[in-house]
Amino acid sequence: MSSRPPRAPRPHRRPHRDPVRVLAFDALRAVDERRAYANLVLPPLLTKARRAGELDTRDAALATELVYGTLRRQGTYDAVLAACVDRPLREVDPPVLDVLSLGAHQLLGTRIPVHAAVSASVELARYVLGDGRAKFVNAVLRRVAAHDLDGWLDRLCPPYDEDPERHLALRHAHPRWIVSALWDALGGGREEIESLLAADNERPRVTLAARPGRATREELLAAQPQAEPGRWSPYAVRLAEGGEPGALDAVREGRAGVQDEGSQLVALALAGAPVTGRDTRWLDGCAGPGGKAALLAGLAAERGAALLAAERQPHRARLVARALAGNPGPCQVIVADGRRPAWRPGAFDRVLVDVPCTGLGALRRRPEARWRRGPEDLDGLASLQRGLLRSALEAARPGGVVGYATCSPHLAETRVVVGDVLKGLRGPGDPRAEWIDARPLLPGVPGLGEGPDVQLWPHRHGTDAMYLALLRRTA
């Protein structure tokens, strides 16, 4: 009996290491496992890979896009993957799910051709997970590739008229409770909320603030010829796509800082609000990491006023000190709880409290944040926000002004807080306060709402969704 000679075993092929995908996977693992923030975890990984000669500028841009895009659309990709995996997604190992999500993003959210997206993902799976799980990744991604993103959304989204919030949540990759909260604050119809949700999914251009008395906008523009002046703040400069703030001397020397234009407008409005009488003592009661404090300190210096910056977290207070180093006028940083003041009541002419919040106004720059937050977070912040505003009112003298700011437009963190605190000021020793119309203090900025407070929006103003209420202490 003749028999064929046994086939030689196939030589085991070492999986190819694609530095862009491996780096993106490492970043996703860090975000998932250590609850790291993508905007903090990614830059050192990119720097290390570039120093090792593994990535050029285009590779770094692709790795960034893969990480940010995968995280931002996680809810939508999970819904697609759930339809392609024959067991609940929570039973899929997290590293496998990260490879699948990265693959789903390449297939549904980029222009990478289907075959390249699948084969790069399978190769990544072989490299980081092994051959067995690579087969599973291959099978799932082939099912994902059966439709493009619109095709999947048509299959997965309920009709808009039946369930508008769920429809928008899936289509624009936001948790439903956030769609609901944003819509409550924004008002308007479908077109307006869709513009906002779409704007949340765009990466914002980097904006700088030239710190008064230390740098000028012209200096920044001359150093970065492709940069543009900001739209609203006279101190703002918007870098071109991919612009590196660290390449500017003024940023390295702390004379300018990265700061969204919305934050600049908040500081400028507080500084511009009319006060009666003395105007020499300013307080930032929640100063870390110091962006608004640096702008306020520069403005104070121009008017012969001094800024005290208080921050509860020592490490964040150190960041404030760094931001204020070199300020041309008097300023001081202290570690203090803004609710247990280290200052006399009525000591200040202007007070800012930019309180800790859910950050729902800055979803553009923190891609994973929307999936980490939950409505229960509001409960934990409610009494802190009220306590800080109340202390701020106590810190201002009669005739002085207080700015209450959040980088969240959620009504429970904005108007409701201010309304509650004002209503609660009834006791004989309590400060009294009235609203100031903040809108004229943001000159030239349209669409600020019905006042007296202001709400900025990414789709209207190109800023984070910062909220500002200005109050005058009356007694």
Ligand X SMILES: C[S@@+](CC[C@H](N)C(=O)[O-])C[C@H]1O[C@@H](n2cnc3c(N)ncnc32)[C@H](O)[C@@H]1O
Return the range that interacts with ligand X (CB under 6 A); candidates 109-117, 175-183, 206-214, 281-289. Answer: 281-289
Secondary structure (3-state) at 332: strand
The count of other CB atoms within 10 Å of the CB of residue 29 is 17
d(CA 117, CA 423): 57
Q: Which of residues 257-276 bind ligand X (CB under 6 A)?
A: 263
Count of residues interacting with ligand X (CB under 6 A): 20
Task: Tell me, residue by residue from 289 to 318, as one string, x for binding to ligand X by CB under 6 A and - for no binding.
Answer: xxxx-----------------xxxx--x--
Secondary structure (3-state) at 311: strand
CA 198, chain centre distance (Å): 15
242 assigned binding-site residue: no
289 assigned binding-site residue: yes
405 assigned binding-site residue: no
Q: Please, what is the minimum distance in Å from the beta carbon of residue 259 to ligand X?
A: 7
Question: Of 467, 201, 202, whose CA–CA distance to 358 is shortest?
Answer: 467
Find the DSSP H helices in 8-130: 19-33, 38-51, 57-72, 74-84, 94-109, 114-128
Q: Please, what is the minimum distance in Å from the beta carbon of residue 365 to ligand X?
A: 13
Task: Mark whether 407 is an active-site residue.
Answer: yes
d(CA 149, CA 456): 30
Q: Which of residues 381-410 bind ligand X (CB under 6 A)?
A: 384, 388
Q: Please, what is the minimum distance in Å from the beta carbon of residue 371 to ligand X?
A: 20
290 assigned binding-site residue: yes
Q: At what angle do helices 19-33 and 94-109 cross, to 10 degrees?
A: 120
Find the DSSP H helices in 303-414: 314-324, 369-372, 377-395
| Closer residue to ligand X (CB): 47 or 383 | 383
Rg (CA), the chain: 25
| Closer residue to ligand X (CB): 166 or 339 | 339
Q: Assess contact for 268 and 233: CB atoms under 8 A.
A: yes
Q: Please, what is the minimum distance in Å from the beta carbon of residue 193 to ligand X?
A: 25
Secondary structure (3-state) at 209: strand
Looking at residue 200, its amino acid is D
Residue 286 in contact with ligand X, rule: CB under 6 A: yes
Return the range that interacts with ligand X (CB under 6 A); candidates 101-109, 149-157, 280-288, 454-462. Answer: 280-288
d(CA 452, CA 468): 9
Name the catalytic one among 84, 157, 331, 407: 407
Q: Please, what is the minimum distance in Å from the beta carbon of residue 319 to ligand X?
A: 8
Residues with Cβ within 8 Å of 258's Cβ and at least 6 positions away in sequence, in order, are: 206, 207, 208, 209, 245, 251, 291
Q: Please, what is the minimum distance in Å from the beta carbon of residue 413 to ligand X?
A: 11
354 assigned binding-site residue: yes
Task: Tell me, residue by residue from 324 to 343, as one string, x for binding to ligand X by CB under 6 A and - for no binding.
Answer: -------------xxx----
In degrees, rounded to 5, the angle at the alpha carbon of residue 120 between the alpha carbons of residues 114 and 125 is: 125
| Closer residue to ligand X (CB): 65 or 337 | 337
Find the residue with minimal CB distance to ligand X. 288
User: Which residues participate in the annotated binding site for S-adenosyl-L-methionine?
Assistant: 286-292, 311, 337, 354
Q: Where does this chain bind ligand X (CB under 6 A)?
A: 263, 286-292, 310-313, 316, 337-339, 354, 356, 384, 388
Give the catalytic positions in this structure.
407
User: Which residues participate in the annotated binding site?
Assistant: 286-292, 311, 337, 354
